[in-house]
Chains A and B, each alone.
Chain A
Amino acid sequence: MAIIEVKNLVKVFNDEIRAVDGISFQIEQGEIFGFLGPNGAGKTTTINMLCTLIRPTSGVATVCGHDIIKQPDEVRKCIGLVFQDTTLDDRLTARENLELHARLYGVPKSDRQKRINEVFELVELSNRANSLVKTFSGGMQRRLEIARGLIHYPKVLFLDEPTLGLDPQTRKHVWDYILKLKREYKITIMMTTHYMEEADELCDRVAIIDHGKIIALNTQKNLKNSLGGDTIILDIPDEDVEKVKKVFKKSKIFDSQVLLSVKNAGREIKKVLEKAKKNKIEVVEANIRKPTLNDVFLHLTGREIREETVSLREELKRRRMMRGH
């Protein structure tokens, strides 16, 4: 049985905004499952429903075999949560934050210190355990939150935009921890992100979500393959455009760029260049592009997953509103 099962989950805010519009999926034990989509696609709302923070309008879901509506406490005990905005008490020390968490989740007293030290080591914060959280950098706070989410030994860890607002280096660092969790603890992870590379790097399977609907769900490899292969891009002088149209009938031409869809660009580029030479088309530059998840999204929706189009602050504020806080 899948560790998370979701059927036709719907969430409507204020009778009009269909934030999540009938999604279904299953997550297997031990997998890293990614929810990829633009801001406002319904990723966080879905997570909030699965974590029993908000009630679905309709649909059913089970987490670790417990119904999210009928057994919220059972669900809560078996999951760990890392929200996109920090939920630490920055006036307390790192250790105090973890101790409070252990108590809130009913970790037996005899186990508390052992587990706290264990998670501190995991995220390499042991030497800062007794510092106030407000002295921590953004990346350290995120690591501490991941550590905190693990104290009660959850079976599933939910990560909502785990690297939002972090610099690239710190982001890489957080990725390493996430992969370590899967490798060493066999923990199931469901994460949301709107960073393509993040989903690509970490996940076993990705669901692409847009306007509250899942528009594709598969491994990254299969999603990319579904586009029919690679793209060869030729830069040509303007006067050769007409020639190209005759020679490469299936190409798409934008200004002076020719896009050719092929199965395996590495193998076929030689043939393409020879054909161009034979027809006296001058190729200024030739490039190969392997498909990215962004191309998949572009193909499915006709739009790009835009990153950071609104300022971060505004975005967080809007999300907080949607959550009713």
Chain B
Amino acid sequence: MREIEAVYTVWLREMLRYVREKSRMIGSLAMPIFWLLIFGSSIRTSIDVGVDYTSFIAPGIITMALMFNSIFSGISVIWDRELGFMKEMLAAPISRLSIVAGKALGGATTALIQATFMLLLIFGIKSFASEYFIAVKMDALVFLMMIPMMVLIALGLVGLGIAIASRLDTLEGFGLIMQFVIMPMFFLSGALFPINNLPNSIRIVTYLDPMTYGVEMLRSILIGFSSMSIILSFSVVLIFSCSMLLIGAYLFNKRS
């Protein structure tokens, strides 16, 4: 019971910070929206992926919103350390696991809010301009299925962020993470192009990218079109998220 209160407290702080940081809220939405609107709508007429292109990249762009927010939340452990607040949490009569759990749930919640906003934006655009997102299934059941799936992806990514943060001393490496973790994970995930037609060498790398399965899983649900079965993509995402959370918790505990 004490530990549940502790997890809730750490989560509550993440929420309080989130509502204070309007710039972060808007900043992490801007990039996916640009991609969706500019890239999606400009390239749709000149590319054939077997389905309307804006529909095709919609799950990928939602994944992008999840990635930015979740990994950022995980990495904020470094901020907490520099700020000193981490010490306040570490010195309290609560377990380290509660801190990690609170951070993970907090990060997943903010990511979910941002991604849900993207999803609603897609639904909204589809309602007003029906030539966009033709294949997107807009109904309550799809929406309700998307939520837990997005949470699952987000949790794994927060775990990844916490793991990275536990290996880094300062925020100086943050730009590198952006370039060498987030961007490759996104571009190799099949968010922007179908993976079955890729040359073999790249396809192997694509299959090693956990986000590939995240994107394909969301794609199966949102537009009912995917290059793999949802059972496969869901299983891989489940394994990825559980192991990332465990690794994140392990490294966090080891560090502090």
Contact = CB atoms under 8 A, between A and B. Distances in A.
Interface stretch (A76-84, A229-237, A291-299): A76-84
Interface stretch (B77-85, B124-132, B155-163): B77-85
B5 interface: yes
Interface in A69-113: 72-73, 76-77, 81, 83, 85-92, 96, 100-101, 103-106
Interface of A: 51, 53, 72-73, 76-77, 81, 83, 85-92, 96, 100-101, 103-106, 324-325
Given A100-B12, A103-B9, A92 B17 contact: yes
A51 B91 contact: yes
Contacts of A100: 9, 12-13
B83 A105 contact: no
A311 to B, nearest CB: 18
A86 B16 contact: no
Interface of A is mostly: loop
B88 A87 contact: yes
Interface string B78-121: 00010111111111111000000000000000000000000000
Given A89-B17, A92-B13, A106 B5 contact: yes
B48 interface: no
Given A76-B92, A92-B16, 17 more contacts: A53-B90, A72-B93, A73-B93, A77-B93, A87-B84, A87-B87, A87-B88, A88-B84, A88-B85, A89-B13, A89-B83, A92-B13, A101-B88, A104-B89, A106-B93, A324-B256, A325-B81
Top 8 nearest A-B pairs (CB, nearest first) are A87-B84, A76-B93, A104-B92, A103-B9, A87-B88, A73-B93, A87-B87, A89-B85
Contacts of A104: 6, 9, 88-89, 92-94
A287 B69 CA distance: 68
A92 B85 CA distance: 11
A83 B84 contact: yes
Contacts of B2: 106
The winner among A51, A90, A91 for most chain B CB atoms within 10 A is A91
A105 B92 contact: yes
B87 A325 contact: yes
A324 B83 CA distance: 15
Contacts of A325: 81, 86-87, 256
B96 to A, nearest CB: 12
B20 A91 contact: yes
A81 B90 CA distance: 12
Contacts of A92: 13, 16-17, 20
A27 to B, nearest CB: 19
A92 B21 CA distance: 11
A324 B84 CA distance: 13
A85 B85 CA distance: 10
Interface in B1-58: 2, 5-6, 8-9, 12-13, 16-17, 20-21
A85 B84 contact: yes
A77 B91 CA distance: 10
Contacts of A324: 255-256
Contact of B17 (A72, A86, A91): A91
A96 B255 CA distance: 27
A103 B92 CA distance: 10
Interface in B184-233: none
B80 to A, nearest CB: 8
The winner among A51, A73, A324 for most chain B CB atoms within 10 A is A73
Given A53-B90, A76-B91, A81-B91, A90 B9 contact: no
A81 B256 CA distance: 18
Nearest to B2: A106
A51 B92 CA distance: 10
A88 B13 CA distance: 12
A90 B83 contact: yes
A293 to B, nearest CB: 29
Contacts of B94: 104
Contacts of B92: 76, 101, 104-105
B5 A103 contact: yes
A83 B87 contact: yes
The winner among A72, A87, A92, A104 for most chain B CB atoms within 10 A is A104
Contacts of A106: 2, 5, 93
B91 to A, nearest CB: 5
B134 to A, nearest CB: 43
A85 B83 CA distance: 9
Contacts of B85: 87-89
A73 B3 CA distance: 12
Contacts of B256: 324-325
A155 to B, nearest CB: 14
